[in-house]
Amino acid sequence: MSEAPPRVSVVVPVFDPGPYIEPAIASVLAQTLPAGQVEAIFVDDGSTDGTSARLDRLAAEHPATVRVIHIEPSGAPGRPRNIGIEAARGDYIQFLDADDELAREALERVVTMADRNASDVVVEKFASASMPRSQRLFERSVERTTLIDSPALVDSSLGPAKLYRRSFLLANAIRFPEGWRQMEDQAFTIHAYARARSIGVCADQPLYFFNRRDDDGHLTGERVDPERHLRNLRAVLDLVEAETEPGSLRDRIERRMLRVELLNRVSEPGYLALSEDDRARFFAAGRDLVRERISAQVIADLGPVRRLRCELLRDDRPDDLLSLARQLDDLEVTTENVRLDWDEGAVRIRATVGLRYRSSGRTLRLATRGDGDRPVGHPYAVAADAGLIRAQLVLRARPSVLEWYLRTATRARDDRVEATATASIDPQGVGSGGLPLDAGTWDVLVRVTGLGIEWSGPLAAGRPPGPTPALCPALVGDPARVVVAIRGSEGLRLEVDPPPAVVTTALRAGPIRVIADGANLAFDLPMVAGSAAGPLPAALVLGDGDDERLITARLRPRRGRVVLEAAIAEHDRLAPGRHPMTLRVGGSPAGADVPLGTAVIGGDGVVRIDGLERMSTMTRLGALSTWTASRAAKPFGREARRLASTTRRVGRGLVRRIRRTRRR
């Protein structure tokens, strides 16, 4: 071990992770903090799958970084984490589950923020493929706050995957409950939030990745014992009362615990999937909790649907609660009147978002005042909540499930659960850090919130008529990147730096027009360009088989459009005749090229393109006016200069006439 203490200790509780531990190990060893500043403490909770020996080998290979502690099986992650806290030597402790992983720069970024602000806790932006987790907290970074100043901390992040100052945990005796299989992390985090004098939120980029396991080995996927679960919830509520003063903060934390740990358990779709016995047990335990432990003020500030669920629990109406769950499970998000367009390299979106019943196709409407008694299981007779309907557009990466919340403007209607949502996606700058989107597939989702609950679904589901994608591809950034927006049966998605076949399909869907032929070829592509886009290398394939010539080309932005340019040198030319010509973008394989018509080569070696639309003279001149003069064909250059001279003369004449008219 290094003589100097490390800056941060990564505590990893381990029980039978099998091969799923390898990303966690690799991510700790790859951290960008200097050597000696990171120690990894793997607390083996009696693993039986060979992981114990794997960790011992790891410690032998990396004695300066890795420590392994073997303990008797405890049955839950609380005890291994507590042992890790006691064994840690770093200034800070970062908790990492054995099947998750850290970004390479994660520890460097959070330690730097903690040092800068004397933070007791730093909350990291995450991507969660294992289960849905709210990321609303991460719309912007916050250097220094407290739970009192930022109560939204409890709504978005009560898991342990954070950085904690070790001396802070020791001084305040903050530990995990031992033996709990659920909610031990909420108890620990609420205790830490309540005691912390400085909390940071690092939201510029994802630093922690909750990975999905194919073997369903997550604790979150285990069957929950109703009585034990709600007994633990009571203990957490006791902790909240011990650590907070009566008032709005305490009510908000209790409301969050009630919402997530009880009401979500008796909600669709999970409640419907339970056995009849488990439903009855959850209902009975929840009924007793609401009657005995939840204040009227906590319930009053829930949305109307959750208030109704509390009412049905309190009044001992299990059949009505089940009926409500079935009715709400029948609802789905709809998007209509979807408008998409590129604007300065960003995708502008406008859509009407609503809710409808799958079984009938009927649009959900709000009851109005004076509609009479609310029928059983119908929670919508609260007209005052109509204006609280909100639609939030979210960008989600495959397969990491990294999410970025988009700035979304919404305008709600008064008579139905419906809103008009508008947002913009800039592939070169998302989130508070303005990061470019990673290469890959990004789905656009819409989340409708209102009435105290939330629904999610894809945006613009349903492929538009015809074979074309919703938008033509775009060239963005410098160095240039290709982004293709596609509206298909699964909704709207962005393909960033896509495989050549995706680009090829998108370009084949639109018209390609000839601007100029000869030795210097130019084509107008069905593609838009951002104002700051740079050129992108490409290639022309002239001929086929043994006579194929690969000619250097490039895609260049020109006044919001993209022009394909290529110069055919003497040695590139084929024999006179007709030869197929295609565009190859990136490393596309043979057969995935974009057809560019036929190159007709005359006896003098001059190339003319057949089989493509040719731009009109006026349109062609507009394109050529932004094309480098030395690359333009001479006849078009002379014509452009004559047209420009004529335009100037006519313009000066008009100005003189207007001035004479004003004098009169």
Residues ≥6 apart with Cβ < 8 Å to 5: 89, 90, 91
Looking at residue 198, its pLDDT comes to: 98
CA dist 91 and 109 (Å) reads 15
CA dist 332 and 351 (Å) reads 16
Angle at 628 between CA 624 and CA 630, to 5 degrees: 110
**Mean pLDDT confidence for 140-162:** 93
CA dist 517 and 567 (Å) reads 10
φ/ψ (deg, to 5) at 306: -70, -35
Structure tokens at 483: 């982004």
**565 and 535 in contact (C-beta within 8 Å)?**
no
Is the pLDDT assigned to residue 169 strictly greater than 60? yes
CA dist 494 and 483 (Å) reads 7
φ/ψ (deg, to 5) at 331: -85, 145
Structure tokens at 159: 């898991």
Q: Are strands 92-95 and 126-128 parallel, antiparallel or unpaired?
A: unpaired
CA dist 271 and 259 (Å) reads 14
Between 604 and 237, the more confident residue is 237
Looking at residue 126, its pLDDT comes to: 94
Residue type, 153: L
Looking at every residue in the chain, the average pLDDT score rounds to 85
The segment with the largest mean pLDDT, out of 185-189, 221-225, 375-379, is 185-189
Reported as type and span, the H/E element at residue 303 is none
Is the pLDDT assigned to residue 467 strictly greater than 50? no
pLDDT band at 165 (very low <50, low <70, confident <90, very high): very high
- CA 132, 137, 143, 146 torsion-angle sign: negative
**Mean pLDDT confidence for 252-257:** 96
Looking at residue 35, its pLDDT comes to: 84
Percent of the chain with pLDDT over 70: 84
Reported as type and span, the H/E element at residue 356 is strand 346-357
Looking at residue 663, its pLDDT comes to: 56
Closest CA to 308 of 281, 300, 456, 332: 300
Structure tokens at 543: 């001929």
Structure tokens at 252: 């908000």
Is the pLDDT assigned to residue 207 strictly greater than 60? yes
Looking at residue 129, its pLDDT comes to: 86
Peptide bond into 399 cis (omega under 30): yes
CA dist 151 and 149 (Å) reads 6
CA dist 255 and 252 (Å) reads 5
Between 378 and 281, the more confident residue is 281
Residues ≥6 apart with Cβ < 8 Å to 323: 376, 377
**154 and 147 in contact (C-beta within 8 Å)?**
yes
Query: Could you give the 3-state DSSP secondary structure of residue 496?
Result: strand
CA dist 186 and 234 (Å) reads 12
Peptide bond into 479 cis (omega under 30): yes
Between 289 and 217, the more confident residue is 289
Between 42 and 335, the more confident residue is 42
**How far is the first Cα of the chain from the last one, in angstroms, to the nearest whole number?**
94
Reported as type and span, the H/E element at residue 600 is strand 594-601
Looking at residue 299, its pLDDT comes to: 95
CA dist 241 and 236 (Å) reads 9
Helix axes 184-195, 248-261, angle to 10 degrees: 170
637 to 329, 554, 609: CA distances (angstroms): 65, 21, 19
Closest CA to 213 of 361, 41, 382, 22: 22
pLDDT band at 655 (very low <50, low <70, confident <90, very high): low
Q: What is the pLDDT of residues 360-377, one digit of tens each?
A: 988 776 655 444 444 444
Which of the residue ranges 39-43, 59-63, 324-328 would you say has the lowest mean pLDDT?
324-328
CA dist 75 and 621 (Å) reads 75
Which of the residue ranges 222-226, 582-586, 625-629 would you say has the lowest mean pLDDT?
625-629
Write out 145-206 in H/E/C secondary structure: ECCCCCCCHHHHCCCCCEEEEHHHHHHCCCCCCCCCCCCHHHHHHHHHHHHCCCEEEECCCC
Query: Could you give the 3-state DSSP secondary structure of residue 125?
Result: coil
Closest CA to 261 of 190, 213, 201: 190
Q: What is the pLDDT of residues 501-524, one digit of tens each?
A: 888 888 887 889 999 988 889 999
Structure tokens at 422: 């508008």
Which of the residue ranges 107-121, 182-196, 450-464, 530-544 would you say has the lowest mean pLDDT?
450-464
Closest CA to 181 of 124, 224, 125, 243: 224
**210 and 101 in contact (C-beta within 8 Å)?**
no
Which of the residue ranges 38-47, 503-512, 542-551, 583-592 would you say has the lowest mean pLDDT?
583-592
CA dist 537 and 281 (Å) reads 64
Read out DSSP for 281-323?
A: HHHHHHHHHHHHH--HHHHHTS-HHHHHHHHHHHTT-HHHHHH
CA dist 324 and 327 (Å) reads 5
pLDDT band at 156 (very low <50, low <70, confident <90, very high): confident
416 to 366, 386, 570: CA distances (angstroms): 5, 7, 68
Closest CA to 381 of 366, 391, 394: 366
**500 and 599 in contact (C-beta within 8 Å)?**
no
φ/ψ (deg, to 5) at 324: -60, -45
Is the pLDDT assigned to residue 634 strictly greater than 60? no
Other Cβ atoms closer than 10 A to 83: 18
Which of the residue ranges 31-35, 95-99, 290-294, 462-466 would you say has the lowest mean pLDDT?
462-466
Reported as type and span, the H/E element at residue 522 is strand 520-529
Is the pLDDT assigned to residue 595 strictly greater than 50? yes
Radius of gyration of the chain (CA): 31
Between 92 and 456, the more confident residue is 92
CA dist 196 and 119 (Å) reads 8
Structure tokens at 551: 């000619």
Strand partners, 396: 403, 443
Query: Could you give the 3-state DSSP secondary structure of residue 641?
Result: helix
Strand partners, 422: 350, 409
Closest CA to 180 of 213, 225, 215: 225
Write out 321-344 in H/E/C secondary structure: HHHHHHHHHCEEEEEEEEEEEEEC
Residue type, 650: V
**Mean pLDDT confidence for 208-219:** 76
CA dist 161 and 145 (Å) reads 18
Is the pLDDT assigned to residue 468 strictly greater than 90? no
Structure tokens at 43: 């607390």
Looking at residue 641, its pLDDT comes to: 52
pLDDT band at 428 (very low <50, low <70, confident <90, very high): very high
CA dist 274 and 266 (Å) reads 9
